[in-house]
Structure 1
């Protein structure tokens, strides 16, 4: 594959975004590796929960590039890939004088199959089994989606992992949203009495979901002493992922991106998903997601819920407040919120709040409390007292509504 680049070309690697900075840093690490691989600038953007947003990242690239290739850091094509990111990219095209091409998701790729095979081999070595001599079953565990096309690709990947390798069997399962769940798959495998079960979490980052995979696998191992079971590591930042990103980049810039439109629930009638058909409906859903989404991972409930945040904090970044230091206040508030274990708030910029000269201004809703003359050092109190414990920081109050 040729990686000859245009003189003023850049790449935007788009991740989902997480409240866990470790997961966001993994995307940044992949971007740095891809930049070294391609020899052109590679910046990072996040769909939600982390910064910079897609619009902010494109804004930063606009002065230095005339062509940007957006590459998805997503495993499969579900609603984020099909709706939310394309909407943000189209909006960016309207704001900036840039040519923006969009690549495909990671999808199914030989490099990923090799990576999964190595992950399985590492678990086999730890268990002391050999697939050529022992009956070794593998469970490939995905996150789970409401998009049947994405779920179908997990099953296809599991089958390709089985083909040509000496596993006793390879099955697909999911953490939630759809079936079969990991628990169901593990208990089903117990009936075949394999010597070992290798569970592969099919995820990039190592967070709540991968820990859940390990916990469920550990419980199964305790319950069935005649089967040795162990979960492996997620994909992480393995360099083979850079091979996939490079291919997706090349496809995008050469107009050869292929999407699975024949089985896309937004384009064709699939049994049970008839109401999802239609571009207009998908666009409305993406707009609603963009405006109101607050993604909260709840370890006691579903891993990807869409409840509104308890509070909405706006920081005036109009000229006067900006000159008085409001961007630093905004960033510090976001950092304190990320570090808090209890904060459930969305923190955003706002235009002028009509209190010029009294800023930087910070408004907290639905409480209707406006703080004035806020400094970045005050962010810890606003988050720790008001957002975490509903205690108003009285000495900062400008007005209440």
Structure 2
């Protein structure tokens, strides 16, 4: 489907009537940011012709689980569409874990997990328009003047996500009369906005346009604006200003529509060849393996646990003593992982001394040695687990802190 196309004409109205979309945003303590996500959900519903609800990873309600609970009563299929600019840990870890739990809780509901917004020509076109608005305000013309652009994103610990920022910068440069387009970041990684602006100034452009690659007017967008204003004061021979963020432009809705079509038709493509959890990228060797992705996601989710003493804390919830993850990816599933998962859950339910959360996991990187069962925070992995072993894991490890040594695969 092209960026401006309506939903696929081959989709029947009966199919659309039985379908819903969950638009997943990060969530913010600034209610204005959360309202932007809800506005996008309402606008996307009008564009697609199917119910669209908003859900949040954290800091706002409803959660992904609660949002899917609400959709399950009126739809048999739900497509999860990510309102994330790049594929970092939330897209690769946190949302898939939440979707996995929802599939367990709603066995009769088909849930498709989509992709992030990513690098899309409609977004490049939108950035070009944002730059043009600043050029008009500064009274410069890229065809006649030397106009430099700095594309500033949040920054991530995931090199795949950071690489996409540089790709967007290059695509914005290609075929346009900008003097240069540089990628920069407001935090986490380099180059930071300040050093990029100073480096650009050495080329003495007539003007510098700073493009915040953000969805809304949040704290980080404010920092980017402040950085552009400081630069403008420091370099009187260069006119500089920051553009507006992406906002709720129709082109953003068009990209979300494309991501919906990919999700519902099972044609989602992720950049596995440059994923630090899949391959050994220099400097990120310790992150390789699905287990580390899973551990990061579980740690992030439970980091604010047991804070009931803090009034109105959006992160307050009870954390279990242990988290058990059973790999149900293709190889482990073929070896009987679903039966192991059910036996672990049943044994835990029957126990009076087991305080554990038990969930499915994606690949733990030990294909051929499964079914794999990982117990955290202990960092103990069991391999070749059968249903009888599952009951021993509960009765010995989870109830009495005694490792079942004969099935230990590794201890992290």
TM-score bin, normalised by smaller chain:
0.7 to 0.9
Q: Which residue of 1 aligns with 2:244?
A: 233
Q: Report how many residues are paired.
A: 309
Q: Which residue of 2 aligns with 1:118?
A: 129
Secondary structure class of the residue paired with 1:140: strand
User: Unpaired segments of 5 or more residues in structure 1?
Assistant: 294-307, 315-332, 335-343, 351-401
Secondary structure class of the residue paired with 1:49: coil
User: Unpaired segments of 5 or more residues in structure 2?
Assistant: 2-6, 320-412
CA 1:313–1:52 in 2, change beyond 3 Å: closer, same or farther? farther
Q: Which residue of 2 aligns with 1:99?
A: 110
Shift in Å at residue 347 of structure 1?
3.9
Deviations 1:341-372 (A, max 9, x none): xxx6744489xxxxxxxxxxxxxxxxxxxxxx
Whole-angstrom CA distance in 2 between matches of 1:8 and 1:87 = 24
The answer as to 2:323 corresponding to 1:312 is: no
The answer as to 2:25 corresponding to 1:15 is: yes
Shift in Å at residue 280 of structure 1?
1.4
Task: Check the 8 A contact 2:58/2:315 in 1, yes or no.
Answer: no
Q: Which residue of 1 aligns with 2:175?
A: 164
Whole-angstrom CA distance in 1 between matches of 2:72 and 2:209 = 46
Q: Which residue of 2 aligns with 1:182?
A: 193
Secondary structure class of the residue paired with 1:171: strand
Q: Which residue of 2 aligns with 1:130?
A: 141
Whole-angstrom CA distance in 2 between matches of 1:101 and 1:192 = 48
CA RMSD of aligned residues (A): 1.8
Shift in Å at residue 253 of structure 1?
1.0
Secondary structure class of the residue paired with 2:308: strand
Whole-angstrom CA distance in 1 between matches of 2:273 and 2:195 = 30
The answer as to 2:132 corresponding to 1:144 is: no
Q: Which residue of 1 aligns with 2:381?
A: none
Task: Check the 8 A contact 1:313/1:345 in 2, yes or no.
Answer: no
Whole-angstrom CA distance in 1 between matches of 2:275 and 2:174 = 26
Task: Check the 8 A contact 2:59/2:314 in 1, yes or no.
Answer: no
1:31-42 → structure 2 map (5 Å cutoff): 31-42=41-52
The answer as to 2:222 corresponding to 1:211 is: yes
Q: Which residue of 2 aligns with 1:253?
A: 264
Task: Check the 8 A contact 1:109/1:244 in 2, yes or no.
Answer: yes
Task: Check the 8 A contact 1:312/1:345 in 2, yes or no.
Answer: no
Deviations 1:47-102 (A, max 9, x none): 00000000000111111111000000000000000000000000110001210001
Q: Which residue of 2 aligns with 1:362?
A: none
